[in-house]
Structure 1
Amino acid sequence: MLICGVKTTHDGGVALIEDGRLVFSTEMEKLGNNERYAKIKDFATVFELLAEHGYRPEDIDHFVLDGWYKTHKIQSWHGQEFEVVLAPYRRGLLDDDLLRPFPGSIQDLPYLSFTHYAGHVASGYCASPFSRAGQGSYVLSWDGWMFPFLYYVDGQSRKVTSCGPLMPVIGDSYLQLGQLFAPFDEPIEYPHILGLAGKIMAYIALGEARQEAVEHIDRTIDAAFREVLGDRPDDDRFYQVGNGIEILKRIKKNVALPGVEPADMLASIHHALSVRLVQGVREKVATADFPDRNLVVVGGCGLNIKWNSALRDSGVFDNVWVPPFPNDSGSSIGTACAAMLSRTERAALDWDVYSGPALRDSTPLPGWREESCDLRDLARLLHEGDEPVVFLNGRAEIGPRALGNRSILAPAGSPKMKDLLNEVKDREFYRPVAPICLEEFAPGIFSPGTPDPYMLFDHTVRDSWKDRVPAVCHLDGTARLQTVNRDENEAVFDLLTHYHDLSGIPLLCNTSANLKGSGFFPDVRSAMEWGRVRLIWSDGRLFTRAH
């Protein structure tokens, strides 16, 4: 069976699943240097991507569209406008059947649509190792305009049960409360506001959670909750978007505490929400009667590595897993998975994180020298030259993280390298640079250093390594680690192995290769036109800009 999932709104994308295998997943931002979070502007793009992979519209058994808060949407198709009716954004929160389909038709082409939350839950569970093992799992879904809800997916029946809301704070609260405090109190236009939460998470390393501020935040949230929901706070029907926005408005009016510095206030907000999140899942799981203590985290808040780590370290679950596409970048996969769960006997998705677009052929710009360069030669160049290299290889990663195939790689031994990379990327000084490390060596360098192939948990750099790899140490001593083994990415594994042989260091700095405000470079020429890094490596060829 062929299922094509489509998300037309921000983080637009197209994904194709054939008999349980992900054939491709293409986000619009990764085509032609499109802006970050780009939408699908013309439905013809869907059919062009299918054709690129050898499929015709008539081959598809189910087209599936992601639900949205505007259920009636005007879409273009070869310049002609038509109306698409989508599943509602939030109904899955309140519906006994999360996987209830909403059928429709485009120009006589039938489709299904599932609520936005159904897509998040389905993508997380179906892609997880738990589904492949036939195990059940809790799924925590916390997205921008929604309360955090906990579900349980039965590994045998594939039935999805709602365990209810965890706390009265919608996901958007993190960035909206963050915008009340310097340096985030300047207006930021959409769509760039979508990346603000990550900046806040990096900035809190400059502050510390203050007990009086945390207690004040807790009182403020509780008061806003009671004002909006009255004396029926346990009724799930009250956990709707409108109530969530109203609660947030009241929190914003009263959250500031005089005498607390902005960085400390931001750290306190982060801590208060983290504690509530862990407490919420602890209470729900304690009263549930489900056999498997696995957890999948999805929704935009699944990109918060510190919250993920708090959930992992809580002891509530035996295993915690986060997909590389927990936010809306995975919604085209998710809505297709919702159809797979409800229309087939399959629950497990066979997928690879490098299922994005292949590199486009391009002609090098004048002024760039091209030569053969294998991975051993590149490792020597990185070791001896101590400068960054744009590394473009194979198909792009799916999800928002650069995981080696669309990366800028650099030695981590110089304390100046982080500042250099932030300057190259035009990023703020407090932004971290991630390490990409051979999996077998990670526990000796980081704590816990457990396998983390998608950069979705927090790790602390061990004291014995802080002076050896200062470029990947964040201001609070942590690192957003990516581990790599041969099966996950053979090229990066070989490069790191050669580099380790030369330097004694089994890791490199890793940051995304892209234009500011755009998706990953789709080809070598784009990196040349950007021109802020002198060296580009791709498919065994090294391109060097003439001085």
Structure 2
Amino acid sequence: MYTLGINAAYHDSAACLVQDGIVLAAVEDERFTRVKHGKRPVPFTTWELPFHAIDYCLKEARIELKDVDHVAYSYQPNLLLGEWAGAETITLPLEPSRHQSDWLSPWDPLFLSSIVNAPRQLASGAPHHLKKRFKGVRHDGPYRWHFVEHHLSHEASAFLAAPFDDCAVLTMDGRGEQATTSFGRYAGGEYQRIKQVNLPHSLGLVYEAVTSHLGFLHSSDEYKVMALASYGKPVYAPLFREIITYKGAGEYEVQPVQWEELLGPARERGSELTQNHMDIAHSLQVVLEETVLKMANWLQQETGMKKLAMAGGVALNCVMNARLRDRSAFDEVWVQPAAGDAGTALGAALRIDAQERQDRRRYWQMDHAFLGPAYGDDEIEAFLKQAKLRYRRVDNIAEAAAELLAQNKVIGWFQGRMEFGPRALGARSILASPVKPEMQAHLNLIKDREDFRPVAPVVLEEEVDKWFVNGGVAPFMVFVYDVIPSKADAIPAVRHVDGTARVQTINRDQHPLYYDLLRTFARKTDVPVLINTSFNTRGEPVVCTPRDAVESYLTTPLDALAIGSFILEKN
């Protein structure tokens, strides 16, 4: 049985294909369209289904859309449509007074009509060059269409992917149909939601609002605010505690505010960052961590579970995650690596797959995120020849790349199946040695990034506790760890101003070539750590194809490109 999961709500549209409990493929549509987060000049692009991502998933399984049994869309419009619930179409314009008195956005009527009509669009809206894999399908099948509530999709992406048989579940994001935060319990193959927090109360929307106030792009740049927070002081923490009020039993309220009245004029994008901006970021981060820690501890007491699985965009805050790992009542915390809205395609597909097969057994767990496209040497070399580029083929790409890295060269690394989620994890990465402190600034210059942003380390799994305090298995770069003080001078480029690093661990089963590269670099330098940052520049999605990789390599000051079995170097 094939189940296709789709996210096209809000942003980060994506597709995932599951066969009988096994995830075959998952990828964001931005990797093909080259529009980061799917964000165009209008707030929503829900009328654009992720046709390119769907096409890839079908191609990976060597099937066509007519072979799919179920389609799961990670949004349930009936929760908002009132008397229109179940209607085949929605005619514009909708009159808010007829079913909801206060639209949260003037785009909501168009947004909802696009979602309800998604089955028709999937059947007939594919771009011309992709129509082959979409032929022979009507809007009513042959597959069954399922609308899956947004937060249930987040929840399922956590509890059905986590390495736990039983766990508590916490999801937090900007908004779903109504919920912004949900708490649940997964045991015996069954899931029960215990409680949810609804709009307008949302930790994610508060973080988005402050992200915009600080001159960054909301629903995209929240990680920049998290990084900036390390430079500030909790000057505004009392104010944020008045805005976000924890009420107990997992519940909180957010007071409506005018941000400029409270925090002063909004920063213009690209203008100077002041200490005041840093203090705002730090204060927000402190209160977020305090609030979520209280919520998590209540959830542990309520469920009695010792393991926690998390998803939702807020769960990509790796500093907050580390605080939960170290200070909450849970023994283990696991975060689904595509925790943002792209991951709801994964969750919707897994949920409907399990439901329709009526099977509580677990066949798959997410121990790596390499679920996207791969390109073989023949395809890569054909493009290099077509582009008339100089290159050399090597017998041992790990050895050749490690030698360049040991010489303090910065290389693009393009190997195997692409990562699903926002983090580059060794398939589409820019790599460098962490030994010289100036490498962090150099990489930010190469990628046209703000100079306050840290770069992250990847470390051999068996070596992590020798370099990072209480270092544990962390394959997805969703937690920070303190650098062991005695090792700080050996890897200064990856140590953030607060002494932490956002760590990725790697073992050979997850990505043999990437692991061998680190082993070889360690043999040459006695340092089993590399800088790993995403293979892209500011405003661009991570590279997907050989063409994307070569274009990024040629238009940036990268020293070399290791792509398949080939090395390209600049004079």
User: TM-score by structure 2 length?
Assistant: 0.79
Aligned pairs for 1:192-341 within 5 A: 192-210=217-235, 213-222=236-245, 247=254, 249-250=256-257, 252=259, 255-256=262-263, 261-286=276-301, 288=302, 290-341=303-354
**Equivalent position of 2:15 in the other structure:** 14
Aligned CA distance change for structure 1 residues 55 and 195 (closer, same or farther; 3 Å): same
**Equivalent position of 1:348 in the other structure:** 362
Asked whether the 8 Å contact 1:43–1:78 carries over to 2, the reply is no
Aligned CA distance change for structure 1 residues 68 and 465 (closer, same or farther; 3 Å): farther
Equivalent-residue separation in structure 2 for 1:398 and 1:507 (angstroms):
23
Asked whether the 8 Å contact 1:158–1:341 carries over to 2, the reply is no
Q: Which residue type is aligned with residue 362 of structure 2?
A: A
Equivalent-residue separation in structure 2 for 1:275 and 1:409 (angstroms):
34
CA deviations on 1:344-364 (whole Å, 9 max, x unpaired) are 313535154111112373412
Q: Which residue type is aligned with residue 284 of structure 2?
A: I
Aligned CA distance change for structure 1 residues 340 and 282 (closer, same or farther; 3 Å): same
**Equivalent position of 1:156 in the other structure:** 188
Aligned CA distance change for structure 1 residues 527 and 400 (closer, same or farther; 3 Å): same
Corresponding position: 1:126 with 2:160: yes
Asked whether the 8 Å contact 2:4–2:72 carries over to 1, the reply is yes
Equivalent-residue separation in structure 1 for 2:8 and 2:320 (angstroms):
29
Alignment equivalent of 2:405, drawn from 378, 382, 391: 382
**Equivalent position of 1:29 in the other structure:** 30
Corresponding position: 1:72 with 2:73: no
**Equivalent position of 1:57 in the other structure:** 65
Which 5+ residue runs of structure 2 have no aligned equivalent? 40-44, 78-110, 127-137, 266-273
Aligned pairs for 1:159-198 within 5 A: 159-165=191-197, 168-180=201-213, 184=214, 186=215, 192-198=217-223
Query: How many residues are paired up?
Result: 491
Asked whether the 8 Å contact 1:6–1:65 carries over to 2, the reply is yes
Equivalent-residue separation in structure 2 for 1:49 and 1:234 (angstroms):
43
Aligned CA distance change for structure 1 residues 11 and 452 (closer, same or farther; 3 Å): same
Equivalent-residue separation in structure 2 for 1:115 and 1:78 (angstroms):
19
Equivalent-residue separation in structure 1 for 2:325 and 2:123 (angstroms):
48
Alignment equivalent of 2:472, drawn from 443, 450, 457: 450
Identity, % of aligned pairs?
A: 26
**Equivalent position of 2:5 in the other structure:** 5
Asked whether the 8 Å contact 1:496–1:508 carries over to 2, the reply is yes
Asked whether the 8 Å contact 1:174–1:197 carries over to 2, the reply is yes
Aligned CA distance change for structure 1 residues 129 and 160 (closer, same or farther; 3 Å): same
> By how many angstroms is 1:7 displaced?
1.4
1:208 aligned counterpart, secondary structure: coil
Aligned CA distance change for structure 1 residues 29 and 373 (closer, same or farther; 3 Å): farther
Q: Let me know the Cα RMSD of the aligned residues.
A: 3.0
Q: Which residue type is aligned with residue 7 of structure 1?
A: N
User: TM-score by structure 1 length?
Assistant: 0.82
**Equivalent position of 2:452 in the other structure:** 430
Which 5+ residue runs of structure 1 have no aligned equivalent? 83-104, 226-232
Q: Which moved more, 1:310-319 or 1:349-358?
A: 349-358
Aligned CA distance change for structure 1 residues 128 and 357 (closer, same or farther; 3 Å): same
Aligned CA distance change for structure 1 residues 44 and 537 (closer, same or farther; 3 Å): closer
CA deviations on 1:33-61 (whole Å, 9 max, x unpaired) are 44334667357543564145311223222
**Equivalent position of 2:85 in the other structure:** none
Asked whether the 8 Å contact 1:5–1:14 carries over to 2, the reply is yes
> By how many angstroms is 1:159 displaced?
3.1
Asked whether the 8 Å contact 1:44–1:77 carries over to 2, the reply is no
